[in-house]
Structure 1
Amino acid sequence: MADSVFNIEEPQRKRQKRIQYSPTPSQPDRNQATIYRPLDKAKREIRICDLSYALDLSDPLQCSLRIVSIDEAGSFVALSYVWGSDAATETISVDGIVHPIRPNLAAGLRQFRARFPGRYHLRRRQQSRQISIWADALCINQDDIEERNHQVDLMNLVFTRCEYTFSWLGKADEDSDLAMDCIAKIARLSSHPAGPLGSIQKLTQKKPFCEGGAWVAIHRLFRRDFWFRVWTFQELVLPRKLIVGCGSKSLSWSVFKKLENVRGYGDALAGDGFQIRQWISHMDFDIQDKIVAVSSILRTILLPILFSREAEAGSHKYNMVMRLKNCLHLHATDPRDKIYGFLAITKDHRLQPDYSKTTEQVYTEVAKSILPDLANLLVYSGISTRENAKNPLVSSSWVPDWDWTTKSAATAAMTWKDFELTGNFRGHYYHISKFEFKHLPDTEVLRFRGQICEIVVNSKFYTKWLDPKCFAVTIRNMYGRFYPQWSHYGRLQEPIQKLVALCQTLIQLRMPQRVVSMEYSELAAGFCYSTSLRIKSETNRGTSKATISLATLLKLFGTEIEKHSEVSSCLERCKDGYLVEEQASLRKRAFFETPAGHFGLGPPEVKDGDIICKIYGCWWPFLLRKVDSHYVLVGACWVLGYMGDQGLDESQSEMIEIW
């Protein structure tokens, strides 16, 4: 049964003789310096490792390497694993030559070898006492740059033509067996899912899911390095058939796929799992935390894999930008692999692996190839994504540092949840900037047509701005003023009260395709109630003169709240939902204002005096900083009044240079 957990049992000695390894005459001399013979690129050759079977897990690893054309490779299994940071302390005998390998590869080979008699192997191949596998650390000469370039180009064929891929998560720990058992049970219970609500409710009523231990185990399993590596992501997407192994247990990918029913859909995870918590409100809050944590990590890890496998099966491949956008959480030991690791699962043939180039050269070439077609790529650029990097990999502020984005809090903050890299917004002033590039001795310069809008004033990091005293002063200063005219998808509207605009900025309600987990009337009521509490708290301490009342705040939203009597009659219940949305919007961002009265949310590195710039063709405005005679890009920002086509004036356009 596909949903079963398979125990890897050690075969009994009395039923099989121990297999002794004896080198054949054709094998090279033991003193040979390398285990590798050259590959013929024209024939698209690869190496296949024939791993010798053994009775015990602890038996020495022995194999032979043979060279074949990928078109004539026959049946083999691809091994997917994490190299790890440990030194090569283990060994394998390759054609009689002792070759060092890393511990995780050695453990994976041993466990894979132990399950050789299992159901997933063809019986006719058991007679050979060898298992044909492909493992990159063994089958590619990692010291030969030219060979690495060629073999990376063949990765798509290796993982699509293999019999199946064995994805090795690593050795067992104290609760990994429990996690694998729980995942198998979820798959059985989800055979006929009734949607996320029914699925989660069903799970939490059964053992062991009514307790926190099961959720902790699953969460720990998905926190393993395997799920956060660029190469293993590709190796999960390409194969038609997958077996996932951890310790002595393994599951087919069809079982893992059914975890999709646990995570929830749409905006279920917005606001710290607000909706999921409603579904499981009967459970202890501590267990709720664990379930939300599992749902969150499954959304981060599982969704990109599922979508990518479906796209691959449907002969549709994401372009490089969409792949990078959806996989910001993935790491690579070699920063260049943040690009090269996705070449096999993208349709961008303009890029070819070349490990003779520096990381800066690779990232700059990618940006120059993509920007002319997709200006919104700049949302991942700026000094905000590398301000604290000890050794920045790129010098040009407009070039995304794809390695640092994985580690950068600023990037996590600026990458709004439903951000689309399409650039297709409506409006009279819609333009696509023509990007030009100029090479200087120490940097590459980006030239484009855009519009300088305003400067930043009164910038504060979100934690400081939410301080009741600071918040109360801001409210007091803005009360009674009107917000400058703003447009809603191209339609001019009358000016609105500034406090209403502030509310919309804090919850980012008008983001394209943003699905808010609560109705706007509830969020507006929550804003009013929370604001009045904050001001009252500060006023009672005698540090503020703000006297704005709850009734006055509610009037600013007019019929939005009045037409919902159930909302206005129970304001307190709206508070928590609003605060959750507010926290999600502000987290890891700076809040700022402009002299014209606009509000903005930007990266933590924003400073007073930074310039808001509209780049035609981008939904987001960007923050620039003047340095000597040129600008550097600080990062993308959110400013109600300058989103999409808002505030564009063709007569104010100019050529701008960013270093």
Structure 2
Amino acid sequence: MTDDDRYTRPHSDYPTEISINPKTQTRILILEPGKYNDPICCSLTVENIPEGARGDFDALSYVWGDWIGCGSICVNGVSNFPVTQNLWRALRRLRREDIYQFFWIDQITINQGDLEERTEQVSQMGRIFQQARRVIIWLGDVEDSSSSWSFGSKSTKNKKKQITKNIMKAVYENPVQNVQPWWTRAWVIQEYALGKELPIIMFGSEQVEWRELMEFSKSKDVDDGPFRTWTKILQSLQDYEYLRKGDQSFFLLTANLANTKTRVPHDKIYCILPSLAPQERALITVDYKRSVSETFCQATWVSMVSSSRLEILGLIDSSLSQRLEAGYPSWMTDFTFPNHEKPLHLLQMEDGKFLTKAHDKIFQPYDSMFKTILRVLFAFEAWEWSWCKKQPKFIAEPIWDASNHQQLVLQGLEFDNISHLVNVKTEMSVSTVMTASGQVQNYMNIIAPNSSSSLTSWIDEKSWKPMERELNDSIQRHITKENPYQRVNEASLQRKGAPYQPPIARKEPLRVFLVDSLFRKWDQTARPKTARKIFSPSVSGAFEFLKLKDDPNFSGRREMTSLMAWGLRTLQQMNQLGNIFFVTSSGFIGLGPADLRMDDKIVLLYGSQFPAALRRTENGNWRFVGFVYVRGIMNEELFECFSDLELKESKFVLE
């Protein structure tokens, strides 16, 4: 049986006599009274969904699961109406013996066979959950349970605490077969955050308020494995609290989506619509007839045009070759985040399995949290500066046409070309780490390399291999003869000049802890003596920041945030995609993704805080390779080092 078969709903008639205007109305399920083992019977009624109104129904937040062993209920006289096994179990537990109950449950209240109705109702889900009396989160049931099953003793002194504890333990020990955990669903973001009240948690026959779950997670009783797991889950969900305020940026919401899953990729976008700022929400229309590529292209463009920034491109976590192989445009953010499951290793060891295992034990449980922080740091919110004084524009004005959805037009400045590439070896041996005291710091300086000279620089030079020494000497000779800042200006104005002559190609990679030394050596030769030091959140730089962070004249705060964002992103790329040290034709040096090629162009796009690498296509358009780090031109460094710089402005048609 294929996945398509498992997740295909069995054919069944729908009570079409209960018709609605899906733009302004919805159906409400009336669950009829009955005992636990009685057949489940219900009917449907129509409810208007006006703005701000409060309904008399509960909204159910749950996981559908697959259709294997599905249950059947009776809806408005339609017998054998199929529902998934997980929902069937929920209805048995929700049903009362004495009263009718009112619910909004998407699997039943939406005619899933009517694509147009489904599309309109998905657009209204935010209002429906806001209108609901309360949201009930159904986490599942134990196998072969009966109506008499319950947690613990009813005479427990602290009943609520015991119920809470048992729910957490039961969910941990009794995962529902073929049903993903509730908290990994993309729709959780909306369903949890948009209810007027904090939700009710239900597992089996027991229920507890969300706030009681949160209180328990902070208590001393969270030492056991199940409770530690729940604590991390609750803490991650608590990050969605700010969504209740609405008017959030698309970038920050989609960054959270990396931790969620959905079988329908479109829902990665549609599930956050109610929390978006109105100007962004108005630009996205729910349409399941569109391809995934078109849906994601529109969402990527909406983020750019609404924020006037290109930060959304920082969420691309696959190589250019992977994007093209998937049939996606190079500039499109894949909101399924295909590489998110790959672990993030801050320090990779060639030997010493014990240290590698220790690292995994300490950091791996928090890997998702680190990656979320990384993405949030990559936001350009506090950034408002242009690349050059003579060309002060810093606002992105992306042009996108849905009729040719794979093309995007951006403006920016042509800066330089890649002329030499060296692989970066990110692994370190245990002996290297133990014998050279400065190398751990230098590895961490890749986060944002420090330009100050120190004892570690001398240690590094002593350990250079022939290829590394030859690379450094070649760079130094070139930038001593012709300053890179002047050279890039002349090249842009189409004057002739001697290009960078790379050393003889070698197979040996550049060891990662020496990148910092090359940056510092480059600073000493290429940058003006009067230029301010490139601030770094390195081990030593952290102490400087702590001393000066309250000084209103200290400019390092912004630098630290942006450079740390770049560095953490670089570390992630090193783990997922590999990394490249490069030299440009004018003699600038930097780091970029592993699939950089010779003659890729470095451009300074309007609306971007980081330079970007673009590649020419056969038809003269461009492909987005990725953001790169170029030493000495970021954070207004071009202003200080070359105030008269004037670069060629161009439009880049990305595809």
| Short-chain TM bin | 0.5 to 0.7
Deviations 1:468-507 (A, max 9, x none): 59999xx9xxx9xxxxxxxxxxxxxxxxxxx999657423
1:107–1:289 Cα change, 3 Å: closer
Query: 2:284 maps to which residue?
Result: 351
1:307 pairs, out of 204, 229, 242, with 242
> Residue 594 of structure 1: SS of its match in structure 2?
strand
1:506 aligns with 2:469: no
1:135 aligns with 2:105: yes
Alignment of 1:278-427 (within 5 A): 298-299=234-235, 301-309=236-244, 311=245, 316-347=246-277, 348-372=281-305, 373-380=307-314, 384=318, 387-388=321-322, 392=326, 395-404=328-337, 407=340, 415-416=374-375, 418-422=377-381, 424-426=383-385
2:19 pairs, out of 39, 62, 82, with 39
Shift of 1:101: 1.0
User: Contact conserved, 1:453 with 1:612, CA < 8 A, in 2?
Assistant: yes
1:107 aligns with 2:89: yes
Deviations 1:121-148 (A, max 9, x none): xxxxx5xx32111100100001112211
Alignment of 1:147-158 (within 5 A): 147-158=117-128
Deviations 1:289-344 (A, max 9, x none): 99987766555x324322223x2xxxx42133321123222222221111111122
Deviations 1:496-544 (A, max 9, x none): xxx999657423379xxxxxxxxx99xx99x7899799989xxxxxx99
User: Contact conserved, 2:41 with 2:73, CA < 8 A, in 1?
Assistant: yes
* Letter aligned with residue 80 of structure 1: S
Q: What CA distance in whole angstroms lies between the structure 2 residues aligned with 1:260 and 1:466?
A: 38
User: Contact conserved, 1:438 with 1:446, CA < 8 A, in 2?
Assistant: no
2:48 pairs, out of 66, 69, 80, with 69
User: Contact conserved, 1:384 with 1:604, CA < 8 A, in 2?
Assistant: no
Deviations 1:89-129 (A, max 9, x none): 2111112212011111112222222xx47xxxxxxxx5xx3
Q: What CA distance in whole angstroms lies between the structure 2 residues aligned with 1:658 and 1:563?
A: 39
- Say which is worse superposed, 622-631 or 644-653, in terms of deviation: 644-653
Q: What CA distance in whole angstroms lies between the structure 1 residues aligned with 2:323 and 2:398?
A: 27
1:68–1:585 Cα change, 3 Å: closer
1:52 pairs, out of 32, 41, 60, with 32
Q: TM-score, normalised by structure 2?
A: 0.61
* Letter aligned with residue 186 of structure 2: V
Q: What CA distance in whole angstroms lies between the structure 2 residues aligned with 1:65 and 1:214?
A: 36
2:576 pairs, out of 562, 572, 588, with 588
> Residue 414 of structure 2: SS of its match in structure 1?
strand
User: Contact conserved, 2:417 with 2:599, CA < 8 A, in 1?
Assistant: no
1:583–1:653 Cα change, 3 Å: closer
Query: 2:650 maps to which residue?
Result: 654
Shift of 1:625: 2.5
Q: List runs of 5+ in structure 1 lacking aligned partners.
A: 1-30, 118-125, 190-206, 264-282, 480-498, 511-519, 537-542, 565-579
Shift of 1:448: 1.8
1:162–1:506 Cα change, 3 Å: same
Shift of 1:247: 3.2
User: Contact conserved, 1:614 with 1:620, CA < 8 A, in 2?
Assistant: yes
Alignment of 1:621-632 (within 5 A): 621-628=611-618, 629-632=620-623
Query: 2:491 maps to which residue?
Result: none
1:247 aligns with 2:204: yes
1:433–1:43 Cα change, 3 Å: closer
Q: TM-score, normalised by structure 1?
A: 0.61
1:561–1:64 Cα change, 3 Å: closer
User: Contact conserved, 2:63 with 2:180, CA < 8 A, in 1?
Assistant: no
1:469–1:425 Cα change, 3 Å: farther
Deviations 1:331-377 (A, max 9, x none): 22221111111122223223232223322332223333332343324
Q: What CA distance in whole angstroms lies between the structure 2 residues aligned with 1:600 and 1:101?
A: 56
Q: What CA distance in whole angstroms lies between the structure 2 residues aligned with 1:157 and 1:130?
A: 24
Shift of 1:652: 3.8
Q: What CA distance in whole angstroms lies between the structure 2 residues aligned with 1:82 and 1:42?
A: 23
Shift of 1:404: 4.1
> Residue 654 of structure 1: SS of its match in structure 2?
strand
> Residue 310 of structure 2: SS of its match in structure 1?
helix
Q: What CA distance in whole angstroms lies between the structure 1 residues aligned with 2:226 and 2:461?
A: 33
> Residue 609 of structure 2: SS of its match in structure 1?
coil
Q: What CA distance in whole angstroms lies between the structure 1 residues aligned with 2:329 and 2:610?
A: 20
> Residue 159 of structure 1: SS of its match in structure 2?
helix
User: Contact conserved, 2:318 with 2:339, CA < 8 A, in 1?
Assistant: no
What is the number of residues matched between the two proteins? 496
Q: What CA distance in whole angstroms lies between the structure 1 residues aligned with 2:108 and 2:422?
A: 54
* Letter aligned with residue 92 of structure 1: I
